[in-house]
Structure 1
């Protein structure tokens, strides 16, 4: 760990760069980068990395390589024209190396009309910077850049190699982003991701599986609707069974790190319902798209069986569904839980940095959602996450607290030197 003098030099350098940090974050938030349309934002990041003197590479995902990996998630969005950006600062090969990762892609701003301000404004008010992606996670991405910039400004060059990695596709599962970069050989001994975690250190995330439930009805004209079977009505017992399963698992399945980080360990969510296409036609089919998360110790096989049995049991109470049983299809996210040993030297180096910056005890937490850190074990890498504090993530009027972005830059910078060492 670093001396008090080194810490002070480092923190002073970050503080001096704060106006640049805020301006840079504003500029990046003002570039829309919804999943599938990240290229312009990545060009902005490319220039930042070049200006810092890094060796910069633009890496488009290799679909064939990524498809072969068990962590692949097929989003049906092509990878062409969607590069990842990697900026490398060489170091002593004998010293520990580090990838500092963040994603530039964001989710949709819809319903845009409900935002109280332009969702791409980057507006600063009351110490908060507003806009889609401000918290999740352009602030973390920019904090990573200013962490390295501050260290170099302070004359504290990391001894080991450091890679800044700006990735696409995280919101859709990460296969074209972090996974593609690791498969292409852009690795290190450790992986640090600055997702918005309120300055806590995240060492676990839930398994996440998506599934569809298909239901059949019988179409009919609205004038003779008594001859039809409305598929929407047949959804209701299945929906209620999944809602009951969600309540039961929320009550009974406990994983302390997730309880601490997300307030609850697991969830079953019915996210979409599609049925019918005309007001005067009885819909003859319906489909629900759903998500279930699960904790370390549970397996994908167990979770699939649980969902399929829940749907089948609900269908068994309805004569129509007995004769026309719903079909469950698993798609998109199919990931297992991830957990990291908190005693690993890298995790302790990050925790020490977080405590030094916060000036108080910092918690180890887990998240009841998916994180790109889950890919690290497949490549022999240790991983952990920390990041700034924000609110309304994926929601209306997303924002990040600027003080926490500055603190994140300090944590990342100090953790980097704690782990990689300082060059002579």
Structure 2
């Protein structure tokens, strides 16, 4: 009887321990092969998140602090590049305030000029001239936002799409050709050119997507190589009679007026209007909303995020990771192709060898700064558009090298990729796992037992 009673108590204890283990929070039990002692977690064999997941998992505060720190370091470079500061540094130990004052003036004047050239120029003679810098920032932001959204979609799926530059070029070639080679009705012509640019970028991005899905090719290497191919492709295209009847190899025929983005501020509304802001900015807003819906509300968006978070688990759940990879690259390429239309159908209105500028590479920084979230990418694109627009006035007014803007962008990438460095500079605590504390009743029961 006693043995039977002890055996029943043992079975009940085992069952209770199994129920307690099953009910424990993931932070205590682990979800990926964690081993645990009754006293708490002692060893984990969990799979470490990838570098991309670690970068994208940072908070918005890290992005803001990374930008602020990049501006501070950029200010130091501006001070070192200033002639007056270097001269005052020659007698720093006798009059240190001269050096500090000259450095402060150089940094202040440079950043004030950047603000005037990107947001609001209070020294302009007319109100239109005052707000023109803001419109220029929006113009520069259009291709950055669209291409950045494409990069962000790839990041959310766990893909390093480094080929936005080539996808922009191919999209620009197709959009320009449809814009000047055909005569279509008003409205339809613009839609056809936009659709052609998106399809061109999607097809070019689909190549690395298909190679990765079918043969396991590394998308980073393939997209980088395709960037080089696109650069030589546009040089070849611009030498053909169709794209360059004069054989100068510099610019294609102008896109038809029916295939260009209308101006958001028409000439009749503002006398002497010189605004270049066009409806491509509205397209960028609509694309941001679409990408948000795609990632957060659609079935393919769920599969995309699942494949990016854990491809093995996605396969176990019955998802085709290869199919998701191809679809992701097609969407990313289509957005990059739309970014090309902002140039070809909006500002340049023709095809040139430098139509893509550095937008494809800057879009990577935009997506990283925006944490691959649609809204974050949108505001990051606005910020980088402002940096581009303000850099010109900064250079002309203060003789500060415009390369400082590129340095700031590079520093942002570096700091976003190293959150511990940002936390160390601002003395922020490192994020740790949240462990649920035992309730008061549970503690009382344990003490009583």
Q: TM-score, normalised by structure 1?
A: 0.23
Higher strand content, 1 or 2:
1
**Would you tell me which structure has more helix in proportion to its own residues?**
2
